[in-house]
Amino acid sequence: MNELETKIRAEAERLLSEGLVDVVIAFRQEDAPLHPQPAFFTQVEELESLTYNGMCANNLANYLTRYPQETRIGMVVRGCENRSVNALIVEKQHTRENLVLIGIPCEGILDWRRIVALTGENVLSVEEKDDSVIVHTRENTFELLRIELLHPSCQRCLHPNPLSADILLGDPKPEGDPHLMRLRIEALENLSLEERNAWFRHEAERCIRCYACREACPMCYCTECFVDHTEPRWTESGVTPAGMQAWHIIRAFHQTGRCTSCGACERACPMDIQMTYLTDKLNLDMADTYQFEVGMDAETQPPFATLTLDDKNRFIAQGK
């Protein structure tokens, strides 16, 4: 058990035993060593299985919308999760007063695919020690560099520290370098139209439409997704190029001003499809055009959800 895990457990125990929350949402170690499981603790006795490490890959804010507003929730949040929670509060999906955010300054999520690519599939355990990660497989032991295993979204992370946690456990981490995300997007933008189209199609058309990206995303909480509408039908439902392209492009656009670039969508994808380049581009546009960054507080509406009479697009005021 690591020190952070002990602290989280103690906090969770305090919140539950003092009756301050109804449930603590965190992670627990189940059988799969590469995939700790989102867990929902309601009893102190259950906390023994609570875990926290670099393999905890899900965005826990995803589970917030499963509870009624009245449920008092304690939740472990890293930088991105805290911002997702803020964005959800802005969208009135939960009441801030009913949340206790246990903040963890984040060292970045380890990408299980990178680990498996280096060590093979038969991973038995993953141990983190300072800057290295020790992976025990059935056949071997590997000592790998943490920095080389970080999920791409975490490499580009801007805000690893929770912004509005009620309790902060661990020392704050340095902020990320905003150029990293920009460089990647610019590299794509500098491609020719044909090359960009080829890139987009190559990624989108490997899709198997399992919608893991949607289900892993805290902001995809619509009761009925546009792809599930039958009257009218917005897209083809099969794995046709048109259907898959429509899914990828519309999913991304629905995230405009709502995505925190946490990368949970890519981490969930069973086909290793890159998709954050779409949402990251939209996030840069939001920053450049509206100086807006998602979830930096729990009050500011995203630009596309905002109506003002002094909008610089005059059509509203002029009624044309």
Partner 1 sequence: MNYRLPKKVLIQTLNAWAEQAEVFAPQKREGYAQFLPWEAGNELLLDEPHNTRFPPKAFFLPQSETLLTYNRKLSQLEMPALQISQRIIFGIRPCDARAVALLDTVFATADNPDPYWQTRREQTILVGLGCSEPATTCFCTSVGSGPFDHAGLDALLTDLGEAYLVETFTVRGEALFANLASANANDAEQAGTIQQQASALLEPAFTTDGLKEHLDQIFDSYLWSEFAQSCLGCGICTFLCPTCFCFDIVDEAQRDERVRNWDTCMFRVYSLEASGHNPRPTRAERTRQRFMHKFSYWLEHADQFGCTGCGRCVRYCPVGLDIRAMIRKAAATPSEAVHVN
Choose the binding region for partner 1 from 25-33, 70-78, 92-100, 276-284 (rule: CB under 8 A): 25-33
Give strand pairing partners of 103. Answer: 77, 168
The upper half-sphere exposure of residue 282, i.e. CA atoms within 13 Å in the direction of its Cβ, equals 21
Contact between 274 and 267 under an 8 Å Cβ cutoff? The reply is no
State the Cα–Cα distance between residues 256 and 215, nearest whole angstrom. 17
Stretch that binds partner 1, among 34-42, 153-161, 181-189, 303-311 (CB under 8 A): 34-42
The answer to whether 267 contacts partner 1 (rule: CB under 8 A) is: yes
From 79, 15, 71, 30, select the one nearest 296 (Cα to Cα): 79
Instruction: Kindly tell me which residue out of 45, 121, 130, 299 binds partner 1, with binding defined by CB under 8 A.
Output: 121
Q: Least distance from C-beta 80 to partner 1, angstroms?
A: 16
**Angle, in degrees to the nearest 10, between helices 276-290 and 178-189:** 110
Give the separation between CA 75 and CA 12, rounded to whole angstroms.
9
Single out the residue of 8, 12, 26, 39 in contact with partner 1 (rule: CB under 8 A). 39
238 touches partner 1 (CB under 8 A): yes
Identify the residue among 2, 43, 240, 306 touching partner 1 (CB under 8 A).
Answer: 240
Helices 241-253 & 276-290 angle (0-180, nearest 10): 40
Phi first, then psi, for residue 284 (nearest 5°) are: -65, -40
Contact letters for partner 1, residues 189-218 (x by CB under 8 A) = -----------------x-xxxxx-xxx--
- Structure-token match 């690893």, residue found: 160
Helices (H), 205-263: 212-216, 241-253
Query: Which part of the chain contacts partner 1 (CB under 8 A), choosing from 26-34, 81-89, 103-111, 304-312?
Result: 26-34
- Considering only residues 68 to 87 of the shown chain, the ones binding partner 1 according to CB under 8 A are none
Q: How many whole angstroms separate alpha carbon 183 and alpha carbon 207?
A: 26
Contact residue for partner 1 among 20, 117, 134, 187 (CB under 8 A) = 117
Nearer of residues 40 and 249 to partner 1, judged by Cβ: 40
38 binds partner 1, rule: CB under 8 A = yes
Q: Is 88 in the site for partner 1 (CB under 8 A)?
A: no
Q: Are 106 and 76 in contact (CB under 8 A)?
A: no
Interacting residue ranges for partner 1, rule: CB under 8 A = 30-32, 34-40, 57-58, 62, 113, 117, 120-124, 138, 206, 208-212, 214-216, 224, 228, 236-240, 267-268, 270-272
